Copies of this chain bind each other. A is one copy, B any other.
Amino acid sequence: MNESAALRDSVRRLLADHGDDPGLWGRLCKEIGVGGLTVPEEYGGSGATVAEASIVLEECGRVLSGVPAIGSLLAAHALLGAGPQTRARLLPPLCAGDRVVALAWNGPAVIDGDRITGSFTDVLDTAAADTLLIAAAGEIVQVEGAILEPQPTLDLSRPLTTVRLDEAPIVWRDASHTLPGLRDLACSALAAEQVGTAERALQLTVEYVKVRHQFGRPIGSFQVLQHRLADLYVRVQAARSVIGNPTVAKLWCSETLRAVAAEMVQMHGGIAITWEHDAHRYLRRAWASADLFGTPAAEVARLAPEFLDT
């Protein structure tokens, strides 16, 4: 087994065996180094690349895990651009899973002297986090008096928070040169997770249609279901290839996951529309994650403003 497969395997196993365990994130960090995959070894990380992080995120996506994997990846990225003292202070506990950082970065803010005013949506992991950092205007900032508002979301397995700062006093600050890349990294990270979710949703559906019998045979033997599943397979296969391009990933992976989740509901028939079954969790994740860090339509507009001119 090569290293990628070994990483995938060990993450999958921990998620399966300890999915509900509050210490899961700590184990993932300490046993596999998930918290600092992209962080150099001198700061307690594994010195690996975004490719390895993608593997971890796919695995988290498969089981709709609530661990702070995307948030930690983004926080590590932001911190790596900061000064040596900041790096030395914050990265090692982040990598070890001893500290969970919620990073607020998706929104406008103004720093005026030692106070900051702004509003950030789509902040992850505020329940699990012990530290809230703000990324704004080229700086990483820690504040007092941040207002945390739960953000309405379809997705029951990923609460979102809006962070509002109203002339909040800055406790500590440091410049970071990596902040401009945050959004692209966030979209790619999310896409990796979406690929894992889509793949698992497709797999669960395939398994279900193999065993569900109607008219005296498994419904998976019916040609129309086979062909629709084959079309999804084609989309999911391609999705894996586009993770590295944030724009293509946002559109393709979001749409792929929505298509898979909708078919998952349809092919599971009645049981899919119950709380007892997981199908609705995948569907909710599909719609909510498509809109996380910007909607697909906004991405098209970002890509080329003229794409929406008619």
Contacts and interface: CB of A to CB of B under 8 A. Distances in A.
Interface of A: 222-224, 227, 308, 310
Contacts of A310: 308
Interface majority SS (helix, strand, loop, mixed), chain A: helix
A310 B307 CA distance: 10
A179 B127 CA distance: 69
A223 B228 CA distance: 12
Nearest to A223: B223
A222 B223 CA distance: 7
Contacts of A227: 224
A266 to B, nearest CB: 13
Contacts of A222: 223
Contacts of A224: 223-224, 227
Q: Which 6 A-B pairs have the closest CB atoms?
A: A223-B223, A223-B224, A224-B227, A224-B224, A222-B223, A308-B310
A310 B227 CA distance: 34
6 contacts: A222-B223, A223-B223, A223-B224, A224-B224, A224-B227, A308-B310
Contacts of A223: 222-224
A303 to B, nearest CB: 15
A209 to B, nearest CB: 14
Nearest to A301: B310
A227 B226 CA distance: 13
A33 to B, nearest CB: 45
Nearest to A226: B224
Nearest to A308: B310
Contacts of A308: 310
A222 B221 CA distance: 12
A227 B308 CA distance: 35
